[in-house]
Amino acid sequence: MNLKRSDFPDGFLFGAATSSYQIEGHAFGGAGRTHWDDFAATPGNVVRAEDGARACDHFHRMDEDLDLLKAGNFDVYRFSTSWARVLPEGRGAVNAAGLDFYDRLVDGLLARGIKPAATLYHWELPSPLADLGGWRNRDIAGWFADFTEVLMRRIGDRVWSVAPINEPWCVGWLSHFMGLHAPGLRDIRATARAMHHVLLAHGRAIQVMRGLGMTNLGAVCNFEWSAPADDSPEAARVAELYDGIYNRWFISALFKGAYPDTVLEGLGPHMPDGWQDDFATIGEKLDWFGLNYYTRKLIGPAPAPWPALQEVEGPLPKTQVGWEIYPEGLYQFLARTRAEYTGDLPLYVTENGMANADAIVGGAVRDDARIDYLNAHLAQVRRAIAEGVPVKGYYCWSLMDNYEWSLGYDKRFGLVHVDFDTLQRTPKASYHALARALSR
């Protein structure tokens, strides 16, 4: 790394992130079935129909993984909690082993001097709730509030921070409009409802946690820089629409109490009754805001119904998943978020990283491309800080290779290599480089 801890302000936090379904092994410990199990079992949805039944077997290897965080000199660990592990039916009976697992995780982090940063929902909806319409059903806000209460009554006294929902765009648009994540719908009415209910559920969870006296509560959204594919007015218009759908819908609701007009032109007719009355709940005061950032997209018009746009392949170097590497976008989003939405609120980069075709050669993994990616993006974080943007921390995605959703197990985002046959962990060159950069 060409940066070190002392290049950042005192108290700046460095972390690594994971999520429950992607690492734990959902077959273990009494977790209930989730819509990701159902999605993966349906041919054509996931590469080789892989699922999270075993994943990294973090369920049985938690201590080893927490030791990796400690030895990597990380200050904070962003993990998520599986709704179906805690409440196998989504509501009602509690799985004691599930609560015990997260209790041990939090205590294991604290014992190692690492701050626990929890995300309540990173996409594995309990199947019985999907049966009831999942994110299309307004009642999900209440179900989610109840789950929040059950879990936080157990670990809420010791977690350092909490965000209710990871990446509402993925919960809404990617899963209900594009059909690329569970439940795999391609339906505009379902999309409009999911894009609203996910925010309502966020707000209800914040209310529950405030009621329990909790602090340091935030939200995490994902951002993709949207650039016109050419210099035509049509491309400019659809790039702005893409920006509205992807980048502005959720953050406008959270911080301005409104949805972007350009997006309502398409979704408005499909919104659930009374949506205008929910912004007081959606906009509950937050203590921080998190941005997940990976790439940009070139957007051009498409001969199709609204939104009548398409992604166009760009010229920049790409990662293993075909995403262009565009570090400037991270700076642009940090600056814009502060200027237009969050003001003095502390910001965190809650995910950033790259997939790389990593392999163990002679016992080592030389992922120099990842070191370059991290250097370039951290430089953009420093640029934002130098201009007064209150960025307080940065989390790498991900601590270890894991289940990359519909792309299965061979897209490797980890700082630590995982052999998915033996489950052996091998820290990559990027892990060692970061550990050195972060040593005190």
Catalytic residue list: 167, 351
Pick between residue 120 and residue 235 the one whose CB is nearest to ligand FCB. 120
350 scored as a contact of ligand FCB (CB under 6 A): no
Give least dist CB 319 to ligand FCB, A. 10
When asked if residue 95 is in the footprint of ligand FCB (CB under 6 A), the reply is no
Q: Which of 8, 15, 16, 19 binds ligand FCB (CB under 6 A)?
A: 19
CB 144 within 8 A of CB 205: yes
- According to the binding rule CB under 6 A, does residue 351 interact with ligand FCB? yes
- Give yes or no for residue 77 binding ligand FCB (CB under 6 A): no
Q: Which range of residues in 148-156, 166-174, 194-202, 340-348 is near ligand FCB by CB under 6 A?
A: 166-174
Position among 34, 148, 161, 166 found at the interface with ligand FCB (CB under 6 A): 166
Residue 148 or 166 having the CB closest to ligand FCB: 166
Segment lying near ligand FCB (by CB under 6 A), choices 138-146, 164-172, 208-216, 244-252: 164-172
Q: Pick from 34, 45, 191, 222: which binds ligand FCB (CB under 6 A)? A: 222
Question: Shortest gap between Cβ of 351 and ligand FCB (angstroms)?
Answer: 6
- Residues in the interface with ligand FCB (CB under 6 A) total 12
167 sits near ligand FCB (criterion: CB under 6 A) = yes
* Cβ proximity to ligand FCB, 56 vs 170, nearer residue: 170
Give me the residues that bind ligand FCB (CB under 6 A), please: 19, 22, 166-167, 170, 222, 292, 351, 397, 404-405, 413
